[in-house]
Amino acid sequence: MTITAESQTTPIRTVGAAVRAEMGPTITITGTMHDRFTDILTPDAIAFLTELHHRFAGRRHDRLADRMRRRFEIGNGHDPRFREDTAHIRDDADWRVAGAGPGLEDRRVEITGPTDPKMTINALNSGAKVWLADQEDATSPTWQNVIGGQLSLRDAIRGELVFTSPEGKEYRVTAEQTPTIVMRPRGWHLTEKNIDFTDRVGRTMSASASLTDFGLYFFHNAQALIDSGQGPYFYLPKIESSEEARLWNDIFSFSEEYIGIPHGTIRATVLIETLPAAFEMDEILYELRDHCAGLNAGRWDYIFSIIKNYRGRGARFVLPDRSKVTMTVPFMRAYTELLVKTCHKRGAYAIGGMSAFIPNRRDPEVTDRALEKVSADKRREANDGFDGTWVAHPDLIPAAQSEFDAVLGDRPHQLDRQRDDVEVTAEQLLDLRIGRPITAKGVRDNVSVAIRYIEAWLRGLGAVAIDDLMEDAATAEISRSQVWQWIHQDRRTEEGERITAEYVEEMITELLAQTPRTDSSRFDDAADVFREVALQPEFPAFLTAPAYARLLSENN
Domain ranges, residue 114: 96-192+204-429
Question: Is 261 found in the same domain as 289?
Answer: yes
Please report whether residue 45 resides in a domain.
Answer: no
Q: pLDDT digits over 410-429, tens only?
A: 999 999 999 999 999 999 99
Residue 296 amino acid letter: N
CB count, 10 Å around CB of 94? 4
Residue 470 resides in a domain: yes
pLDDT confidence of residue 359: 87
Distance separating alpha carbons of residues 462 and 456, to the nearest angstrom: 7
Q: What is the pLDDT of residue 11?
A: 31
Write down the pLDDT at residue 20.
38
Single residue among 368, 399, 429 that ends a domain in this structure: 429
Domain end residue (candidates: 395, 429, 463)? 429
Query: What's the average model confidence in pLDDT over 292-306?
Result: 97
Q: What confidence tens digit (pLDDT) does each residue in 260-281 have?
A: 999 999 999 999 999 999 999 9
**pTM for the complete prediction?**
0.95
- Mean pLDDT, all residues of the chain: 94
Q: Is the dihedral of CA 341, 415, 237, 268 positive or negative?
A: negative
Do 516 and 407 belong together in one domain? Answer: no
For the chain, the domain total comes to 2
CATH number, residue 503: 1.20.1220.12
Same domain, 352 and 451: no
10 assigned to some structural domain: no
Nearest alpha carbon to residue 256 among 215, 292, 314: 215
3-state helix, strand, coil in the chain (%, to 5): 45, 15, 40
Q: Judge whether residue 534 has pLDDT over 60.
A: yes
Asked if 355 and 392 touch (Cβ cutoff 8 Å), the reply is yes
Residue 198 lies in a domain: no
Q: In the predicted model, what is the mean pLDDT of residues 209-225?
A: 98
pLDDT score of 14:
35
Whether residue 410 sits in one domain with residue 463: no
Across the range 133-150, mean pLDDT stands at: 97
> Which pairing describes strands 233-236 and 204-208: parallel, antiparallel, or unpaired?
unpaired
422 shares its domain with 457: no
Residues 444 and 393 in one domain: no
One domain for residues 147 and 278:
yes
Q: Give the tens place of pLDDT for each residue, 66-105.
A: 999 999 999 999 999 999 999 999 999 999 999 999 999 9
Domain co-membership, 371 together with 266? yes
Q: Is residue 90 part of a domain?
A: no
List 155, 282, 472, 525, catalytic entry: 472
Say whether both 224 and 126 belong to one domain.
Answer: yes
Q: Are residues 252 and 301 in the same domain?
A: yes
472 annotated active-site:
yes
In this prediction, residue 324 carries a pLDDT of 95
The single residue of 70, 107, 108, 184 carrying the catalytic annotation is 184
Check pLDDT > 70 for residue 111: yes
User: Are 456 and 369 within one domain?
Assistant: no
**Residue 351 and residue 254 share a domain:** yes
